[in-house]
Amino acid sequence: MASLLEKLQVRTSASRARVEDLQSRIAALEGELAAEQERLSDLAIMEKTVLAMMAEDDTATDGEAESGPDVGERGSAPVAAAERPRVVVSAPVTRADGKVLAEASEDVVLALASAGRPLRAKPICEAVGWETEHRPVERMRVKLKRLVKQGWLTEDEVGLFAIAPGVGDPAGTGGFVNGTAVEGA
């Protein structure tokens, strides 16, 4: 009987050592994860800044080009751009009722706004920098369904998500989000 108890104690000791080893590896991974999340956040901020600067440059360039001497040679600016105002949804994302979207979900709404049309979960994953394997796409789909329930998105066709009316729609824009007409706004 003593040998059986000794075997059990050896196994218990080995299992305890394995648990401690796994806990230390988890702690190390959590530290790496926190550092990488901070880096990702910094990169997202830099990307938004660069995009804003590029938009400012494009606006300045467009204004100079249209007033320059070669306007007659090029013809007029594209008609589609002049037909409706382009509203760029930016962080923080708000609804017409004044509610502000949680920061963790802003990237999804901004990606949909940039697309200007309804998207499925996989293209949204690509747009926000997520992997496009099955699990991340399913996680995104769950997140999108939650945003639909909260009133930030709509899902008029199964699996096809769009920005809900009034989201990122400043007063007086006539129902346009990022240049796209929103029904019911």
Q: How far is 34 from 29, CA to CA, in rounded Å?
A: 9
User: So what's the pLDDT on residue 125?
Assistant: 93
Q: Which pair of structure tokens corresponds to residue 174?
A: 């006539």
User: So what's the pLDDT on residue 60?
Assistant: 65
> CB-based contacts of 3: which residues, under 8 Å, 6+ apart?
none
User: So what's the pLDDT on residue 70?
Assistant: 44
105 in Cβ contact with 164 (< 8 Å)? no
Candidates 140, 151, 141, 38; CA nearest to 101 is 151
Q: How far is 119 from 62, CA to CA, in rounded Å?
A: 30
The label of the residue with tokens 């995009």 reads 51
Helix (H, G, I), strand (E, B) or coil at 119: strand
User: So what's the pLDDT on residue 62?
Assistant: 57
Q: C-alpha distances in angstroms, 7 versus 2, 16, 18, 20, 21?
A: 9, 14, 17, 20, 21
User: So what's the pLDDT on residue 27?
Assistant: 84
pLDDT tens, per residue, the chain with 185 residues:
679 989 999 999 999 999 999 998 988 888 888 888 788 878 888 888 888 888 777 766 555 544 444 444 434 333 333 343 344 555 678 777 778 887 778 888 888 888 889 999 999 999 999 999 999 999 999 999 999 998 889 998 899 999 888 887 554 444 444 444 444 44
